[in-house]
A and B are shown apart, each in its own frame.
Chain A
């Protein structure tokens, strides 16, 4: 195969894209929105994660009762010191709870140290190194500190989840969704404009024609994705580095994601679209099918985290990249094997 010939086909398609401003506009829309969206998510989270906790108030505890290693049920505790105990269905007033579990409890003006709370309502408390979950409500004036879930660390982990999973997913989605606009048109467009017959009468081989069509879609789509990545990285780092004290992105996950996995996903999407385009007879049908292509790719990235089999790590992406390379090899083989000039030429509507 002569790559120079494929490049000539691709350059012709670039010229057609350039001549049609709507194609460029629709292509550029997604990465631009993506960049803005990323900044809108990352900056507030970084701001929350960087906040210093307020100083703990002096609760003026006057502890009168002491409970140690007991199970308390349907109890009201006033000025109590509860140690290594469980409290079920109770009210805790101005007490000190240490290394205990509270369930269905309303706590007021108390110091909770290393406590696990379920279905709790905390009003004006100090919460240190504790966990509150399961429908608990933290009312105003409650101060959270230490490694307590829900504190600054929660925002940090949320920021990490957003930047290393959620935003990266969007790049994968862009890589598979953006080519549909133009790849689904690659052969159908030539058919409907009646340009296919003279094109097929040239000395181009099937491979040169197909790879020309791949390149024609891959280059603009990946260029826009990389530009979006550069803009997003610059904006996020510019706005979050002063808050966090370090550069949020890029890191190894992002670099592998954007420079290895995204191009592979992109070309898999293109190969699927080009295959469909060579098999159908009108643009609408091609685009309907192309819309479905996004689903299996989305599924791969949803199944992993949902089943706990893999958050987005370099290792997870390497596995997915190898799997997609296999899919790509199959699609290229399928495209070459099933590319039938006669069918394409004689099945015009």
Chain B
């Protein structure tokens, strides 16, 4: 396997005069989980549909598994498994019949198909219900069958559009855990979500979309790009003289008080935190805790989206 799993360059899609996706470019390497984040109407599903060859780009190009989405749609579709936002299962057919149909369409050899269906249903803990009609299934079970359908032919790339939307917390956890299993096995996944916790937990890299791609990278890299690094210090008795003492240190770029804690900005907390602690103790402070301040994906997302909307 060589090259990139997904490569999008300037993808743009208009619906009439409305721009749904504008000039979106990103890469996804093999074995990576990439999450597209964004508010409703940000163009995440449209982007996924263009990559799955369900919609043609108005402009730009994309390759999935080394095949062009516009000129080689059948080759692209042979590589992928899609979990759409709505499970879209045949209600009057059994779970097994639904999976068999898709397995046959993808050309899974009959000798292998039955074993594959059994394996995947057992992994998702729904093997006992394989003969039941989908109409009798709960939302969570339908979602599991839809995931099984996307995987029955062992696709090289998996597209998951809001995989836990409208699921209860327990069903969401089952689905998330299963995605983590796929990730551990080296699966390449493109995930559309507006669940930030889910994206942070599951993905290696994220793309934040608001019609165009606002930011792209790992959550850590994005935080580094957006904020300088800082250390959060909790003292037993905060006092102004401690602030003065640490402001005098050469590596400290700034100090501010926030909820009774001191937030100390610096370039290299890994090296400088011991010297910071030493200076505080020398000044008579009693240090309760010290840790590098981390920014959640939510902080990143909100800052980027609000900043983008303010433009």
Contacts and interface: CB of A to CB of B under 8 A. Distances in A.
A203 interface: yes
Contacts of A8: 101, 104-105
B56 interface: yes
Interface string A1-41: 00001001101100110011000000000000000000000
B287 to A, nearest CB: 57
B54 A19 contact: no
Contact of B82 (A11, A19, A201, A205): A201
B52 interface: yes
Interface residues of B, number: 32
Given A202-B105, A204-B105, A346-B55, A12 B74 contact: no
Interface stretch (A70-78, A164-172, A192-200): A192-200
Interface in A189-234: 193-205
B93 A195 contact: no
Contacts of B84: 194, 197-198, 201
A265 B198 CA distance: 55
A19 B80 contact: no
Is chain A's interface secondary structure helix, strand, loop, or mixed overall? helix
Contacts of B149: 198
A341 interface: yes
Contact of B15 (A193, A202, A346): A346
A245 B114 CA distance: 58
Tell which of A8, A197, A342 has the most Cβ of chain B within 10 Å.
A197
Interface residues of A, number: 26
B77 A202 contact: yes
Contacts of B80: 201
A342 B93 contact: no
12 contacts: A11-B101, A15-B97, A15-B101, A194-B86, A195-B89, A197-B84, A198-B82, A199-B88, A201-B82, A202-B77, A203-B77, A342-B55
Given A19-B93, A198-B82, A341-B54, 9 more contacts: A5-B105, A15-B90, A15-B93, A16-B93, A19-B133, A195-B88, A197-B54, A197-B86, A202-B105
